[in-house]
């Protein structure tokens, strides 16, 4: 696995609403109606992350969830694994 170039990351993110690239990671903030809904979303994210054996950095404050993705095995840079998990996370919101 190799880190992605900045250009490749930006190409991927152009098709992914809300994800931004900075500080060698991709991030997105999600806002829900309340804490219970936010926490339920996090549980679903945990199952997707575990399935891929790729675990995000997560910050949750009340109804807001910020997810950051980078791959430790490629020097804490963004890899295909991060993009794949980001896409799976976005799909959770379409259910």
Q: Is residue 78 part of a domain?
A: yes
Q: Is residue 30 part of a domain?
A: yes
- pLDDT bucket at 79, cuts 50 / 70 / 90: very high
Looking at residue 95, its pLDDT comes to 65
Domain that holds residue 30: 6-92
The count of domains in the chain is 1
Instruction: For residue 15, give the CATH number of its domain.
Output: 3.30.1360.20
d(CA 19, CA 24): 13
The DSSP call for residue 94 is: T
Q: Which residues contact 21 (CB under 8 A, 6 or more apart)?
A: 6, 9, 10, 13, 27, 78
Looking at residue 38, its pLDDT comes to 98
Q: Is residue 1 part of a domain?
A: no
Taking alpha carbons only, the member of 60, 84, 59 closest to residue 9 is 84
Q: Is residue 87 part of a domain?
A: yes
């Amino acid at each position: 696995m190799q880190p992605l170039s900045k250009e490749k990351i930006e190409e991927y993110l152009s098709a992914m609403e809300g994800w931004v690239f900075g500080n060698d990671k991709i991030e997105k903030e999600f806002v829900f109606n309340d804490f219970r809904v936010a926490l339920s979303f996090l549980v679903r994210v945990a199952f997707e992350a575990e399935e891929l054996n790729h675990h995000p950095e997560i910050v949750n404050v009340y109804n807001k969830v910020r997810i950051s993705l980078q791959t430790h095995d490629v020097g804490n840079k963004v890899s295909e694994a991060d993009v794949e998990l980001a896409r799976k996370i976005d799909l959770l919101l379409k259910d």
